[in-house]
Amino acid sequence: MSDSPILLTPGPLTTAIETRRAMLRDWGSRDPAFIALTAELRAGLLRVAKGEGTHVAVPLQGSGTFIVEAAIATLVGPQDKLLVLINGAYGERMVTIAKRMGRAVEALRWPEDRPVEAARVAEALRADPSITHVALVHCETTTGLLNPVEDVAAAVAEAGRAFLLDAMSSFGALPLDLSATPVTAVLASSNKCLEGVPGIGFALVTPAALEAAAGRSPLLSFDLHAQWKGFEKDGQWRFTPPVQVVAALVEALRAFEAEGGQPARLARYADNLRTMLAGMRRLGFELFLDESLQAPIIATFRLPESLAFRPFYDALAERGFLIYPGKLTQAETFRIGCIGALGRADFERLLAAVEEVLAPA
């Protein structure tokens, strides 16, 4: 076993050794070799969601939240109004971001264990013509719940509004076809299902939405229109790029394509989830969500009354596995991720470790 722990979290994730190795050199940020790497990155990101004909890829330095913040700053103007569809913490965060910027924002909420309903969205858009943008979290990482992105996208397009999709924890694993699904901007990051290291967020945006947003962002670093124009002008990042993170993400994208792209990644993660779920149930754990709503990204389990999270976490950490605390307001839970450079054998070893930890001394 390597000295790195197995990360069973929503990111950063366990990465392949080849991905980490890609960081072992220096790059001049304005050198043609790095410009070519950036071009490969932007093209690869578009291919993941079949967005080559409709969208452009705009990477940005920072964590996932940075790209959500940049998208709202750039795309939602002072005269606009954002409607956020919420069934977890990441939806709530978008409201916080919009409010900080002084943007008009409203929320439609569902319980944490219920998917967003497209019919209610259509109704809200009919009732309020001043709403210009709608935002949805594809997989709500708070629970691991999968929201019905195609239905919501269709309802938003039908009403003629712009659609922002936080696909942070689903991008690369769950199907998303931008040639068929109307999405104005898809937001994701380097360190989730693409299995890169942390440090880059990116948006896949329609050029029309970006063109309309020239000069709109109140924040210079978070201006996606200017960031895009920078790439278009000379292939370079506006400000210091995280060169090693770019190199790792390009390597991770090559591995992604070699593995068989999104369908292969989904198949591996679904197998991870099935293995983990069957074993955890055998050990007496109960899934928080109805299984039909559970995405193969991260699973939330109810914490039995007989088990305290901290000692359970520590005992698994000692055995090389890092699980994740719960993030729910309505129940005591913990989470186990099934994404990252991991396969069935890793989950079988995890289950053996859980069994050992639970065994009476």
Ligand X SMILES: *Cc1c(COP(=O)(O)O)cnc(C)c1O
Which residues sit at the interface with ligand X, rule CB under 6 A?
A: 10-11, 63-65, 68, 90, 137, 141, 166, 168-169, 189
Shortest distance, position 60 Cβ to ligand X, whole Å = 12
Of 147 and 206, nearer to ligand X (C-beta) is 147
335 is in an annotated binding site: yes
List phi, psi (to 5°) of 170. -115, -20
Shortest distance, position 67 Cβ to ligand X, whole Å = 8
Of 64 and 196, nearer to ligand X (C-beta) is 64
**Among 240, 257, 251, 258, which residue's Cα sits nearest to residue 23?**
251
Of 141 and 206, nearer to ligand X (C-beta) is 141
Distance between alpha carbon 189 and the CA centroid of its chain, in Å? Answer: 6
Shortest distance, position 208 Cβ to ligand X, whole Å = 25
Of 193 and 357, nearer to ligand X (C-beta) is 193
Of 71 and 178, nearer to ligand X (C-beta) is 71
Of 90 and 237, nearer to ligand X (C-beta) is 90
Q: Which two tokens stand for residue 260?
A: 């068989």
Of 137 and 341, nearer to ligand X (C-beta) is 137
Shortest distance, position 203 Cβ to ligand X, whole Å = 13
- How far is CA 275 from each of CA 130, 261, 333, 338, rounded to the nearest angstrom? 47, 22, 20, 10
Shortest distance, position 290 Cβ to ligand X, whole Å = 20
Shortest distance, position 327 Cβ to ligand X, whole Å = 10
| Nearest residue (beta carbon) to ligand X | 64
Shortest distance, position 173 Cβ to ligand X, whole Å = 12
Annotated binding site for substrate: which residue ranges? 335
Annotated binding site: which residue ranges? 335
